[in-house]
Amino acid sequence: MVRSRLLLVVLLLVLLSGARVSAQTAIPAPAVTISPASGDIFTAHQVQIAGVTPGSQQLLVLFDPAGGQTVIHVAADASGVAQVTLAPTGGAWQLGVYRVVVALPTTRSISGIFSVNDGGKHLMVTPDLPSPNSAVEVSGVGLPPYSDISLVLTIAGGLGQRVVSARTDAQGTLEVLLWPQSLGFDFFSAGRYELGAPDLGLNVAFYIREHPSTSFITVGPSVTSGVDTPLKFQAYGVNRFVWAVYATETGQTAGEFLLGPTDARGATGATVQFPGLMQGEYLLATPYDWGETAFSVAAPPTATPTSTPTPTYTPTMTPSATPTATRTPTRIPVPTPKRASSRTATPKPTVTRHRTCTLTKKHKRRCRG
């Protein structure tokens, strides 16, 4: 008995130790780190992807400020980490912000940025000539780090101004998307726009124009958070990966996807999920490819309680025992013998009747008796 208890204690200790080790060695969520996060036009940047499947092939797409893309494949090591060094193509980087997008399973993605500057302060709108249905990407390099910047957008056609708030990171890099719906429009009207940062003395002009072929996005027909949703992109560049980002109605980024490459018609699509979204209106765009739309997230279906029928008591009739007829023999009465009297019967006297005849005048003879 004592030996059995000792074995049980040892087994429990082993199980607890294994659970502790498993918790300590849990694979972290995928993440991308770029070092350095800012540099000049000749700086090489190290990209590290952690938290992926050990030994798996990772797809990376590098987007330059003008929207050009470079596709990179790199293998993860036994610890689930993949690394690659990015060197400037053509001898030098462009000024602006580069984005590294890493594809994840189920079409989702993670991304990181690095900036290229020449020591000056720059405010820019890229890619050039966005379409009316676009989320316009605004970037800045060489700005004061960790600073809140007020951007003033002057709308084409004399439609007034809008003020947009943005914040720089540790390298003084700024990046913000201008969504037409967040600024009070269904789409941007074509024409000349101006974007300024008055506190920094920066100003840039850009144009929005109609394009012969307009990219468009189809979401749905309905969207429910955490439920598979068809997503289609059409009229994009051929053989191109599409980076899509979705945001709240106020323009706060909520998630991203990487789809593609597009086919010969410039189309691609997938079944995606939008996890963690509350009921309401949301925005979806492909900033490097001039496509943008809005979609609604429906309330999650309410579980209808299934009524469990209350068991009804049905009395069970217990058959009563049927009495078995017992044949009772018929009693044949036996005549009771008459008790003999001890008295001596006295015989009745025999009466001798005498016939009397009377002779009258009327009748000759009448007899009595």
How far is the C-alpha of 35 from the C-alpha of 56, rounded, in Å? 22
| pLDDT classification of 23: cutoffs 50, 70, 90 | very low
Is pTM beyond 0.85 here? no
Cα within 13 Å of Cα(23), Cβ side: 6
**High-pLDDT (> 90) share of the chain, %:** 68
Amino acid identity for residue 201 in this structure: G
- Domains belonging to the chain, first-starting first, are 29-116 (2.60.40.230), 120-211 (2.60.40.230), 216-297 (2.60.40.1930)
Give 137's strand partners.
177
* Contact present, 261 and 245 (Cβ < 8 Å): no
User: Any idea which residue has 């789409």 for tokens?
Assistant: 187
**Which H or E run includes 50?**
strand 45-50
How far is the C-alpha of 231 from the C-alpha of 223, rounded, in Å? 10
Residue 129 Rama label (left phi>0; alpha psi -120 to 50; beta): left
How far is the C-alpha of 175 from the C-alpha of 153, rounded, in Å? 15
Amino acid identity for residue 243 in this structure: W
Burial of 307 (0-12, 13-18, 19+ CB in 10 A): exposed
Residue 363 pLDDT greater than 60, yes or no: no
pLDDT of 27 reads 61
Task: For 26-36, write each residue's pLDDT tens digit.
Answer: 668 999 999 99
Q: List Cβ neighbours of 144 (8 Å cut-off, separation of 6 or more).
A: 168, 172, 200
| pLDDT classification of 312: cutoffs 50, 70, 90 | low
Q: Give me the DSSP letters along 173-196.
A: -EEEEE-TGGGT-SSPPSEEEEEE
Task: For 40-94, write each residue's pLDDT tens digit.
Answer: 999 999 999 999 999 999 999 999 999 999 999 999 999 999 999 999 988 899 9
How far is the C-alpha of 270 from the C-alpha of 289, rounded, in Å? 17
| pLDDT classification of 330: cutoffs 50, 70, 90 | very low
> Mean pLDDT across the stretch 150-160?
96
**Which CA distances in Å does 53 have to 47, 76, 85, 123?**
17, 7, 20, 39
> Which residue from 129, 61, 127, 48 is spatially nearest to 94, judged by alpha carbons?
127
Longest dimension (CA), the chain: 197
